[in-house]
Structure formats: C-alpha cells, structure tokens
Structure 1
Amino acid sequence: MNKDLEFLTRVIDEKSAKILDANDKIWEYAELAFHETKSAALLKSILKEEGFALTEGDAGIPTCFTGTFSYGTGKPVMGILGEYDALSSLSQKAADPHKEPLKEGAPGHGCGHCALGTGALAAALAVREYLIANKKDGTIIYFGCPAEEGAGSKQFMARAGMFDDVDFVYSWHPATKNAVECNHSNAIMGANFYFKGVASHAGATPYLGRSALDAVELMNVGCNYLREHMIPEARIHYAYIDAGGTAPNVVQDHATIRYEVRSPWVYQVKELFERVKNVARGASIMTDTTFECELSMAFTEYLPNNALAAVADECLQEVGAPKWDDADYRMAKEFLNTYPATTLENIKSQIIETYGEDRLEEILERPLDSEIHPFNPDKIKLTAGSTDVGDVGYAAPTLNINIATACIGNVGHSWQMVAQSCSPLAHKGLLTAAKVLALSCIRTMDRPDVIEAAKKELHKRNGGHYTCPLPDSVEPPLDTY
C-alpha cells in the first residue's frame, strides 16, 4: 500500500464509527425528496465539526448545502457529491432477509443514499486531512444534493452556477459490483398535467358534466399508442396523482396525472415530451376540458469522463473490493434467495454474463462481488435509468464509481436494498467507496494534464457551457413533485 492510500485509509478508519453511525441514523430517518431536514442537519453538523465552512439553502432548496475546506491557494477545486433522500413505501427492518416493514407504508432507503451520502462525507473528511498534513494547495467541497429520487437538485445547482469553478467532481453509488461506472444513462423530463372540467350529478345530469378523469384516461390511451412510434430506447411512465375524488356518482371536475419520459439524449427527451403534451391537448379537446402542464423536472444524460475514469480505475484497483467475511456471504445468500424464481433466473443470466458460466454456482453460493471490473471506454453502454449527476457532468468534469453494498443480483428500489443499506454489507462498501473517492481526488489534483484533458472532454460535450434542460422559470418543486 502506497503512503497516500495508507494515510487516507488510516483517517477513514479512525472516523469510521462516526460515519457508520451517521449512515444508520440517516437510514432510520428515511426522509423523502426535498424534506431531508434531519439527514441534511446531521451531515452539516459533522462537516462543521470537522472544520468545513457551510452554505445552506443553496439553489433555492432548503435541504441543499455545501461544506468547503480550502488550503493554501485553494487550487485545484475538487468536488464530491453526497445524496441522502429515501423512497416512499419501502420501510423494512435493517439487515433482515424477511420482508417486514418497520412501519407499513413508510419510506425506506431503497437506493442506498444513506450510504452514498456518508461514504462521500468520509472521503471529503479524508481529503481535508491530507491537504493539511501534506501542506497541499487545494479546495475540497462536499455538495449536499437532495431529492435525486424526486425532481432532482443537481440541475438546479448547476443552473445556479455551483459547479462553475470546480475543476473536477467525483461521486459514487451503492451497487452490486465494484467498477468505475461504464454507463450512459438516459435523459429524463417530467411534469404534472392538471385537467379541469365541470362537476355534475353522474346519474341525473351527466350531460352537464365535463370529466377531467375521462381526459386523464384518454391521455393514457393516447400515450399507449404513442409508444409504438418512438425509438425503442425511450420510455414513458405515468402515475395518477389525483383521480378526482372517490364518489362515482359525481363527474370529476379535476384530475392530475404525472408523466415522465426518457431517451438517451436531452434533445430526444424534449421532442418526445412535446408529443406527450400534444396527446394531453387532444384529450382535453375530446372531453371539453382544460389542462395545464407544469414542467417540474429534467435530468441531462450521464456519460463518464474518460480522463477521470482512467485515474479512478487505477485507484479502485489499488484500494480493492470490500473485505467480505463468511458472515457477509451468508447474509448475501439469504437476501438473494428472497427473490422469486423468475427473478432468480434473470439474475443467473447476469452472473453468467459478468463472471462466466463456469462460476455460476460459486457466485450463487457466495453472492458478493469480491473483485474489480476494469473500466473500458469502448464498452460504455446505454442504461434505462436516469440521474441528475448527468447535469453535473455537463457543468464540470464528473465521474461516478460503483461499489458493492448488496448481494449480486440485488434489485434496486426494493425492500431487500433497504435492509442491506443498514447492514455490514453497506458499512464495508461505503468505507471502501470513501477510500476510492479520496484517493481519486488526491491523484487527480496532482495531475494537471489529467485535469486539462478532462476539461477538454467536457468542452467537447457541452460546447463550452452548461445548458439546463429546464427553463429559468421552473423552480424546484418543493411540495408538488
């Protein structure tokens, strides 16, 4: 182990009790998008205690903040992203491979953002200690980013210029494998469609009513037909937000539906979204109702910065995978076996694709990733998901790293992920991620050639400036999305 990694490892290990306690507390808080009050407060308190200067309520979002520490000239400026929001209706007991909510219908950390935020925090603390101990010029910024599972925050942060003077940014995400993320995520755009009609007695005078619920249902029919005539990589999702009441003998004079569309590139998302709006317009004409489209969220597609990826890949190889023990493997196997047969068959196919058919039984018996999968810029593949990290990647050179915190084959946004996010699996994974992020930062800060190459790559991608996919008139939808 080289001296820099040895130093960072010692710092992170010394602070591990505080970091793991923060993970478990944020896991317990399980706060939804834009309402992560206690989670943000805990992270801010640790940053302040560790000598970081704080800003709060950034980008017009109460739970958005930064923690900044500078030494010497303060150059280069390094960023690390932290998230801490949970998902609705996924409550589950910690480390328990039997489905049992702590509180029925309550939120849970089904994407592991408790670990993401605290692992990133540990990395920022370690980089600060490194700058001081080695009298190195530089600035480390911890970006507290709420609402990734909601309407997002990073596009609003980028639009506010929060990443303009940052030389490079690293992030990580809880995962089932250890690798610099080699994915191109979809761009996404979402809106609430509010339909207004006329109420009337559905039995006596239905002809006097104009049903907003009919309009919503016709919009769904239209979008179902639209699906045949869009590119196969695109997606259209919807959810009823307001069905207009519970009385069937009243013509519903109001109804709200939320639509989100995804495509590989922002320009494709914008085009598809306009087609969805046309469907809504047609539904309102057919039902003699009116509608209002409230655009609330949009993420730019994420692509890895290859210059940063080369450095982070080396650092990941040096740090290595989390050090699993027999108890960890037993726990992972218990969680893997909670999935139904059809899901397990799909998981087996994924295992064969990643590890080879000859290792299938070995992996099923010990389903935790114990190796590092090298980054290959020639094998970047499109994935269906979306993340507001993409917007950071169009504002500053940015890279995401995946570290295993759950069993191989684990399905995200599930009760299984909630349970594993407050277990030894997540604990070991987040501390490993902290070491990789910290080492990547200090390696990159000493490589002006890498920073320059990363910025050239960014300029080629964004044309010299970040363009937010949302107009300036769209504010963070703190209570409506």
Structure 2
Amino acid sequence: MTDALQNSDRLWALADSLRPDYVALADRVFDTPETAYGEYASAEAHRAQLAAAGARIFEGLAGIPTALMGEWGAGGPVIAILGEYDALPALGQVPGVAEPQPMGVAGHGCGHNLLGSAAMQAAHALALWLAETGTPGRVRYYGCPAEEGGAAKTFMVRAGVFDDVDAAISWHPADYTGVWEACSLANTRIDFTFTGRSAHAAAAPELGRSGLDAVELMNVGVNYMREHMPDDARVHYAYLDAGGEAPNVVQAKATVRQLIRTARLADLGPLVERVRKIAQGAALMTETTVEAKVVSAVSDLLENGVLDRVMDRHVQALGAPDFDAEDRGFAEAIRLTLTDEHVADTFRRVARPLDRALPLADFVVPLGSAPRISSGSTDVGDVSWAVPTVQAWVATCALGTPFHSWQLTAQGKSPAAHKGMVQAAKIMACTGRDLFADPALLAEAKAEHAGRLAQAPYRCPLPDEVMPPLRPRPAA
C-alpha cells in the first residue's frame, strides 16, 4: 500500500478545518425542514455553500429543481459523494429535549440534515486534498432530494446524471458505526383509484357503486396474499382519499397507495402484478373501475466488496465518534423513552451482546460480522446499479433510536450528532482519496461491478412515462 493510502492525517485535518461551516449547514437545513420535492430552501442552502467552497455548480439535474451538483478538480476519474436533505411530514420536534415536543411541521426524522452536510464536507475536503497534492481527478457532491418516498435518484439515474461517474460514496446517520453492507428492499409505490357512482346511502343504496368498498376489498385481498408471498417481501398501504366524510353518501371515489417491497429487484415485477390483479378483482366485485398510477420505484442495493473493504479500513482506523459525558447523558434521557425491544433490536442487528447500560455506541461493527437484514429501502440502490457504490452507517444518536421517530429528530442538532457527522465526512473523504490515489483499486471495483451486472443487468424500475412528482416553489 502506498504512503498516500496509509496516511490520512492531512485529510482528517482538512475535514476538521471545515467543521464550523458544515455543522452550520446541517443546523440550517434542520431549521427549515421540507418534504420530498419541496426542498427549495435546503437546496439553496447547499448551493450557497457549494459556491462558497469554489465548486462548479450545476442545478436542475434530471429536470428536478431541487437536485444539484458541485464539482471540483480536473481530469482523472470522477468520484461522486451523495447527499440528501429532505425531511418527513409531521416529525418536527424541538431539538435537545428528551420528550415529545411536536412543532406541527416536517422534521428530519431520518437525519438527512446531517447526511447532506457531511457528504458535502467530505467532497470539499477531498477537493482541497486534490488541489494540494496535484492529483488528477474530479470530486462531485450530488445534492439529491426526495429520498423519502420520492425516488429522486432513480429518476436521476434514468436521466444519465451518473453516466460519467466512476464510483459513488455515501453514508446514513445511525445508532452505530460500520460499513453499510448492501442490503435493502426494492420497492414501488402505486396509487389505486376506484371510481363508481354516488347515491343516497339510505334512500337508494342500490344505485350506488362504492369506491371505498373497492379499496377495502383490495386491502383484504392483499392481506390474504401475504400468506403466499416470499418471507422477505412487504406490502404496506395508506388511504389517500377515503371518499369523503359523510356516511349517508355512497362514496363514489377512493384512492389507496400500496407500497410493495421485495429483497431483489427481479422479484418486484411479479409481486406487483399480483397486487394489480387483486385491484382488478376488487373493481369487479364492486362494479367500479380502477386506475393504477405508479408514483415511485427504487432498486435494491448492489454490493461492491472492493469498496466495502476500502471503507472498512477507514471505519476501523477512525473508530466510533468521541462522545463525552454530556453526549451520553442526553442519550440516556432519550433511551428512557424507548422500549427494551428498540434497544435489543440494534444489538441483534450488529450481532453484539445486549448492553442496556450503554447509551451511545462506543464500538464499530467490523465488515462481515453482522447479519444482513433487509428492512428498508433507498434510492441509493439505483445509483449502486449505475456505478460502484459504498456507504457507511455512523453513530449520531442513542442506541435503539428508531428512524422516522420524534426521538431521532430531537437529537438532530445535538453535539453527538455533529460529532458523528464529521466522523462520516472523514470516512467518506478517505475512501474517495484511496480511489484517486490507487487507479488499480478503482479498476478492481469497477470490474466487480461489471461482473455483477453481467449476471443480472439493471432495468430501471420506473416506467418510462412516470415523471418526478414535482412541487412548485413556495411563494415568497
């Protein structure tokens, strides 16, 4: 291994020097939470920081107003670092308080305020290292909106945004630190709208044809299907339109959103077709018509063992964030709001003995030591099919904190979260540095990726006619 691969001190120092700017960016995004495709203030904050960092800026990627990219360097390979900044509906919480304090707005219940800020911090530090060392290459920060259910990266992949990228790097806030070994669920969201005929529910119910009845029958059919689908598949639903509030009217129209997940992209299509048939059956039973509209879709993550091993070296070298007594005290207060099952689930996932007295993860999870459990989905999956991709989990919150919860939002501006964020930036920057410094290593990662695609070619899970569900810029 070359000296450049062995010595990370300079890159760590560069990342540390940028800490104030990117902590401030993370907190700014936290304070202006916006949901999928509406992240105008967050995207502007990221654009302004890219400008201050001297990046070449490209906006409106894939026709999405809140998607942007900043690039530094020249020649050589192109390394992308992926960031996100979308929030979740109704999860706004007063930060730093270990009890529910809802704010009636969206909130960063998955830590994306930290995710995007650390990714840009890593890209900026890596850009400074390229300039200092005269190393040829381009590093890019991709600001990616709408990960939470919007599949923006899938649309970006389909539009060719990553076609000239050699490798991609990302991370996600978590309650422990380690490489995110490729394990996620492919999914699609489909809205099923049933249309019938309204009528007076008492005077002439026989004249009505209920869209609401059709939705309920569809859900019954999907529930029965659960007994006969793969164990690692999932189907969830939400009523988008229940037809109205008047029970004395036959509800002529109703809409349900079905979220269908499978462990492998190849298995998604057949399960979707079964759900569609159930919808058709429900329409037939109720003498209604049904229209299905695909909203979004993402692929499962494609593994790259070469990049996993590169990142794991830096995870092991850096270790867990250096949490102090104040961090542990606040984490313990959060832990008191969680069930024992939440805490036990984290230790099960990392294959470690349960330690209920440990509030924050002072350990790292070695590569290959924990079971792979598919439980969620990410549009990074589609990037991983387009280019070799690697991600890290980095501890930013109390052990056992569930994603999409008020507890995670409450910790989103804490000193512990900031420490984990900076640690993530260092891991990502050093991983990218290794790929710039050792062309053979990057070539090996690309060869592995090509071999996996040869066995299972990528097919975008989005139908060609489906476009991003863009939202207008809010009025000033």
TM-score in terms of structure 1 length: 0.94
| Structure 1 residue 368 corresponds to structure 2 residue 373 | no
Q: Distance in 2 between matches of 1:115 and 1:195?
A: 40
- 1:344 is matched with 340
- 1:58 is matched with 61
* Paired residue secondary structure (1:383): coil
C-alpha displacement of 1:296? 1.5
- 2:70 is matched with 67
- Given that 1:192 and 1:295 are in contact with CA atoms closer than 8 Å, whether structure 2 keeps it comes out as yes
Residue 121 of structure 1 aligns with an amino acid whose one-letter code is: M
- 1:97 is matched with 98
> Per the alignment, do residues 28 and 241 of structure 1 end up closer, same or farther by CA in structure 2, a change over 3 Å counting?
same
How is 1:181-260 mapped onto 2 (pairs within 5 angstroms)? 181-260=180-259
* Paired residue secondary structure (2:373): strand
C-alpha displacement of 1:244? 0.8
C-alpha displacement of 1:345? 3.9
Q: Distance in 2 between matches of 1:473 and 1:380?
A: 38
More displaced 10-residue stretch of structure 1: 344-353 or 379-388: 344-353
Instruction: State the Cα deviation string for residues 146-183 of structure 1 (Å, max 9, x = none).
Output: 11112211111111111111111110000111101124
| Structure 1 residue 299 corresponds to structure 2 residue 298 | yes
How is 1:465-480 mapped onto 2 (pairs within 5 angstroms)? 466-479=458-471
- Given that 1:183 and 1:382 are in contact with CA atoms closer than 8 Å, whether structure 2 keeps it comes out as no
- 1:416 is matched with 407
Q: Distance in 2 between matches of 1:175 and 1:338?
A: 17
Instruction: State the Cα deviation string for residues 419-460 of structure 1 (Å, max 9, x = none).
Output: 111111110000000011001100121222221221122112
Q: Which runs of 4+ in 1 moved over 6 A?
A: none
C-alpha displacement of 1:349? 6.0
Q: Distance in 1 between matches of 2:242 and 2:294?
A: 19
> Per the alignment, do residues 474 and 354 of structure 1 end up closer, same or farther by CA in structure 2, a change over 3 Å counting?
closer
How is 1:263-274 mapped onto 2 (pairs within 5 angstroms)? 263-274=262-273
C-alpha displacement of 1:353? 7.2
| Structure 1 residue 27 corresponds to structure 2 residue 34 | no
How is 1:175-186 mapped onto 2 (pairs within 5 angstroms)? 175-186=174-185
Q: Distance in 1 between matches of 2:278 and 2:285?
A: 11
How is 1:439-478 mapped onto 2 (pairs within 5 angstroms)? 439-463=430-454, 466-478=458-470
1:7 to 5, 10, 18: 10
C-alpha displacement of 1:297? 1.1
Structure 1 unaligned residues grouped into runs of 5+: none
> Per the alignment, do residues 37 and 479 of structure 1 end up closer, same or farther by CA in structure 2, a change over 3 Å counting?
closer
* Paired residue secondary structure (2:362): coil
| Structure 1 residue 332 corresponds to structure 2 residue 341 | no
More displaced 10-residue stretch of structure 1: 74-83 or 470-479: 470-479
- Given that 1:183 and 1:380 are in contact with CA atoms closer than 8 Å, whether structure 2 keeps it comes out as no
Q: Distance in 2 between matches of 1:349 and 1:229?
A: 27
* Paired residue secondary structure (2:138): strand
Residue 473 of structure 1 aligns with an amino acid whose one-letter code is: E
TM-score in terms of structure 2 length: 0.95
* Paired residue secondary structure (2:356): helix
Q: Distance in 2 between matches of 1:158 and 1:112?
A: 23
- 2:117 is matched with 118
2:425 to 427, 434, 443: 434
- Given that 1:79 and 1:168 are in contact with CA atoms closer than 8 Å, whether structure 2 keeps it comes out as yes
Q: Distance in 2 between matches of 1:352 and 1:109?
A: 25
- Given that 1:193 and 1:291 are in contact with CA atoms closer than 8 Å, whether structure 2 keeps it comes out as yes
- Given that 1:77 and 1:167 are in contact with CA atoms closer than 8 Å, whether structure 2 keeps it comes out as yes
More displaced 10-residue stretch of structure 1: 285-294 or 460-469: 460-469
- 2:157 is matched with 158
C-alpha displacement of 1:10? 2.1
Residue 41 of structure 1 aligns with an amino acid whose one-letter code is: E
Q: Distance in 1 between matches of 2:65 and 2:470?
A: 9
- Given that 1:459 and 1:465 are in contact with CA atoms closer than 8 Å, whether structure 2 keeps it comes out as no
> Per the alignment, do residues 75 and 293 of structure 1 end up closer, same or farther by CA in structure 2, a change over 3 Å counting?
same
* Paired residue secondary structure (1:185): coil
More displaced 10-residue stretch of structure 1: 471-480 or 28-37: 471-480
Residue 403 of structure 2 aligns with an amino acid whose one-letter code is: G
- 1:146 is matched with 145
| Aligned-CA RMSD value | 1.9
- Given that 1:188 and 1:386 are in contact with CA atoms closer than 8 Å, whether structure 2 keeps it comes out as yes
Aligned length: 468
Residue 132 of structure 1 aligns with an amino acid whose one-letter code is: A
C-alpha displacement of 1:11? 2.0
| Structure 1 residue 81 corresponds to structure 2 residue 82 | yes
Q: Distance in 1 between matches of 2:72 and 2:215?
A: 50
Q: Distance in 1 between matches of 2:7 and 2:311?
A: 14
Q: Distance in 1 between matches of 2:70 and 2:54?
A: 9
More displaced 10-residue stretch of structure 1: 9-18 or 439-448: 9-18
* Paired residue secondary structure (1:164): coil
* Paired residue secondary structure (1:406): coil
Residue 18 of structure 2 aligns with an amino acid whose one-letter code is: K
- Given that 1:158 and 1:466 are in contact with CA atoms closer than 8 Å, whether structure 2 keeps it comes out as no
